[in-house]
A = this chain, B = another copy of it.
Amino acid sequence: MRIGELSKRTGVPVPTIKFYLREGLLPHGRLTSHNQAQYGEEHLHRIKLVRAMTEVGKLSVAAAREVLEAVDEPGNGVHQVLGVAQSAITPQVAPEDSEVWQRAEARVAELVRRRGWQVRPGIPAEQALVQLVVTFDELGQQDLLTLLDDYAQAAEQLAKSELAAIGRRDGVDAMVEGAVLGTVLGDALIGAMRRLAQSDASHRLFEGTPE
The one of B52, B157, B195, B198 that contacts A154, using a Cβ cutoff of 8 Å: B157
- Residue count of chain A within 8 Å CB distance of chain B: 95
Q: What B residues does A159 contact at CB under 8 A?
A: 194, 197-198, 200-201
Give the residue name and chain of the B residue nearest to A75 (CB).
B211
| Docked-complex contact A147 and B119, CB < 8 angstroms | no
Q: When A163-B198, A193-B155 are in contact, do A211 and B172 touch as well, CB less than 8 Å?
A: yes
The one of B112, B115, B126, B161 that contacts A147, using a Cβ cutoff of 8 Å: B161
Copy total for this chain: 2
Task: Report the bound CA distance from A98 to B164 in whole Å.
Answer: 32
Is A125 among interface residues, defined by CB-CB distance under 8 A?
yes
Distance (whole angstroms) from the CB of A27 to the closest CB of chain B: 17
Jot down 12 A-B pairs with beta carbons below 8 A, ordered by A: A78-B206, A79-B203, A83-B199, A86-B199, A126-B192, A126-B196, A139-B177, A144-B181, A154-B157, A155-B196, A156-B201, A159-B200
